[in-house]
Structure 1
Amino acid sequence: MGTLEEMQARHGKEKKDLQTRVMQKKKGATKKTRKGVNTECEELERQLKERQEQERAALNGEAVPEADDIPDLDELVEEPAAPQSNGVNGLVENLERTTISEDGQPRKRNRAKEHLARRAAEKDAAVEEAKNEAANQPDKKTVERAKMLVQFKEKGLVEKGIRPDGHCLFSAVADQLSQVGIPLGAGSDAELKEDQRYKLVRKAAARYIEGHPDDFVAWLDEPLNQYVEKIRDTAEWGGHLELLALAKTYNVEICVLQDGIAQTIEPDSDGPEAPEKIWLAYYRHNFGLGEHYNSLRRAT
């Protein structure tokens, strides 16, 4: 082991050499490997400090401090198929080269710590990769909204927001029918508050579907009577089937603008009067509950 002066000189050189290695490793680290490299460097510094303390204690005739007793997971940890010179696998290689026992001899590898360090580095790399991938994805809400605004301007329409409560399709149709002067159903529409008029529209859609089962049963995944009851009495979302039923009930042409395209649902009426045209906006990404309809009125 030599004299105290020789040991101190050697310890100083070992610290200097390790600092140089640490600086080189950190300088060559990437975003994905930085956490693993930092962990590796900290472990190398800890091991050097521990070994030097053991050597000083042995030279002074003091009790040599014991290293942490961590179980060997040799049989549990799978080794990587292709070792690398840096990053996660580089950490394992350096741990194997620099681990020293109390008597200065190579100590059995601490595979538990190696495994934990590898797992932590891999997890951080995966998180970083997911963040980068998400950052490069277009914002669907922003894209959808921009396309809708272009269509509104081209067609001279302004949007009236409808509460996203499960009744939005029926509330939007109620607003549109009121704009073109079409009564919503039996009784006076004025007897209902504006935010309650959807109830008449729901009943109208349910009544038409129930009265024309051949037009709808092929598209249903449940008995017709159960479906009709949900449309009439609950907050079940409406869709294409309900729009078709409402177009025929009120003899209106329903134009739905959505994400850069327009869909038209016609009543197929043979009556003497041309159907009125009403406008809806359909969103898939801009509202927290999912799909949503707003009413579109003529710009003044």
Structure 2
Amino acid sequence: MEDNDIVSSVESRHRKEKKELQAHIQALKKTAKNDKSKKKELTAEIARLEAEQDSRHKEELEAVQKQLDGIVDNNIIEHVEQGDTSTTDEVAKTRVSKAQKRRDKKMQQEKEREEQIKQQEKENIHGPRNKEIQAINAKLKQRNLKIFSIPSDGDCLYKAVAHQLSLKRQQNFSIEELRNKVADYIKENKHDFIPFMSNSETYEMLTDQEFEEYCEKIRSTKVWGGQIEIRALSSSLKCPINIIQASGPETIEQGKEFVGDPLILAYHRHMYKLGEHYNSTCLNENEDVEDD
């Protein structure tokens, strides 16, 4: 099978799996149609399912590319051992060309993502996103706060917490450090967390291996963070975290047993089509609330 055929086959399977997941999500939504508490749990579960699938697809494509690179390397070695230098340069150029194609493809994907976000901004001027931001802004204004925008890249929860820590506690943590803290804390307190964690396909409680994989994804990928990760952040950092949202309880409080000013984040369900999103907050010194 040609290299392009191998990659196309994997991408085709990924498209099929994405369609299957969306069909599954629609079925789940129907079951929770009239149950508000179940809807909230389902929203977080759907975000986790999508993030896990995206992460797995990315890992599989990277593995395929590494395998193809290995094939090219073996071809070069074989030609050199046989004393056939006439094709060595050609094979090497092929490798460089493929590497460049991967870089170009990645750049194109990033560009498409940015365009998707810009398009979403235009579509939601009078849509759910705008109404949600207005509701959150109104609640923040009562606290003399405003939204501090965080990029939507899978690390938004951790970046929002890092911003709050630097702002309120003069503590500087990298995203990697925060992810490691969360992964370590969940592993060390497995029996407190695992009852609230389930397999995305069977909905059964995670096996020991699945639990280890879940923690490793927190540590080494950009998998989205939710309620479990917020709880782990609050406990590992020993500080309260308050989540402001447009609908449902005005404030979700985590870590009330800890002292000090809480870290205050804004939770958006309709920020982007790419998934749910967390922003940080800051003082509204000029009483001009951001709309971004």
Give the alignment's TM-score, normalised by structure 1. Answer: 0.47
Give the alignment's TM-score, normalised by structure 2. Answer: 0.48
Please say which structure displays the higher CA radius of gyration.
1
Q: Which has the higher helix share?
A: 2
